[in-house]
A and B are shown apart, each in its own frame.
Chain A
Amino acid sequence: MSDPAALNNPEENFDNMSVADFEERLPDLVQSGQGKMTEDPRFTTFFEKNPDCAALVRDLEAIAEAARGLFEPAEDEEPSDDLWSKIVKELPGGPSGSPQQALSLSESAPLDEPDGVLE
């Protein structure tokens, strides 16, 4: 059971894994890239025998899933309105180093929000 490659073996049998072994291997099991453990039939019997382990894994999966939802900022989460003007003040010049371009930048307000995400 100590072979990490076993995690990627669809024939691997976890039915008789001990709770101690489960606990030791859990970091690899939940991060094996093989999808959710709770949806992996190789763990069905083990979870039936050890409902607390099943509850733990469900919770960890729920946390990871909820975390992915944090990637997109909340509607009202943004820097203060004057941050752009502070940035422009600090710019040494345009991307090509032209002072005129820096001046242009200072006169241009940030454009609107994203047009959208391509499908």
Chain B
Amino acid sequence: MSMMNLEGLPGMQTKPNPGLFKRNPPIAGEADAIERAKNGDPDAFSKLYALHKRRVYTLCLRMLGNVSEAEDMTQEAFLHLFRKLGSFRGESAFSTWLHRLTVNLVLMHLRKKGLNLVSLEETINPSEDDAPKRDFGSRDTQLAGSVDRVTLERAVSSLPPGYRMVFVLHDVEGFEHNEIATMLECSTGNSKSQLHKARLKLRELLRNPEQLPPLAPGKEGV
């Protein structure tokens, strides 16, 4: 997937969408920093880094599950931002644009590594052990109101890569299924199906939190 014109990709944002700004409201000083950075102001670019480094890093960490790789991809994302900032036209929230750029870089990185996790087959068909069980369970272990952040992070990091990818992109990052389908090169239906299976699997994991593995070193505070 070319990274040259993210806003022009099929299924990507091509018109301003007020919904995106609900999730990513404008940050004070951001628009000014973007314009100044486009004009070569080094302080403005460093401000953009300060404004977005945590979100970009966290996104990379969730997608990759590895602190070192997440740092490398965060670096790559900001270098790419530096090169492509001039093509940002303000038709979507800047953070949405930056996150989409980051997601595409991570996916390209994973494809280069030859990992199957974003291939259609692996994404859609995890192994039998990884698939959620078709069991509604009983009400006495229901989760409602008791999903704490740290436990959820541990459960998400335990998901099969294909499930984790769709869950993070949709439920955490707020991308629509058609956008995810474009990024992962699968159908919208597959994205919906994967998300549902991811949530079912998470429910299963969260009902037995004592069986969840600890977070990787350096990720305890996620």
Contact = CB atoms under 8 A, between A and B. Distances in A.
B12 interface: no
Contacts of B153: 70
Given A27-B192, A75-B221, A117 B25 contact: yes
A114 B50 contact: yes
A11 interface: no
Interface stretch (B2-10, B33-41, B105-113, B123-131): B33-41
A83 B192 contact: no
Contact of B196 (A26, A58, A76, A94): A26
A59 B144 contact: yes
Interface string B82-113: 11011000000000000000000000000000
B82 A91 contact: yes
Nearest to B176: A33
A95 B57 contact: no
A52 B28 CA distance: 46
Contacts of A63: 143, 147, 152, 171, 199, 202-203, 206
B149 A30 contact: no
A94 B40 contact: yes
Interface in B184-214: 192-193, 195-196, 199-200, 202-203, 206
Interface residues of A, number: 60
Interface string B33-53: 000011111110111011101
Interface string B128-154: 000000101111001111111100110
B198 to A, nearest CB: 9
A89 B71 CA distance: 15
Given A52-B137, A63-B152, A118 B27 contact: yes
Interface string B160-177: 000000010001111001
A40 interface: no
Nearest to B140: A55
Given A74-B222, A105-B46, A118-B27, A59 B82 contact: no
Contacts of A10: none
B15 to A, nearest CB: 19
Contacts of A78: 53-54, 57
B144 A83 contact: no
A5 interface: no
Interface of A: 23, 26-28, 30-31, 51-53, 55-56, 58-80, 83-84, 86-87, 90-92, 94-96, 98, 101, 104-105, 108-119
Given A53-B136, A59-B203, A114-B28, 11 more contacts: A55-B139, A74-B221, A78-B57, A83-B75, A87-B49, A87-B75, A87-B79, A92-B83, A95-B37, A101-B40, A112-B50
12 contacts: A52-B136, A55-B136, A61-B144, A63-B171, A67-B156, A68-B171, A71-B55, A87-B78, A105-B45, A114-B51, A117-B25, A118-B28
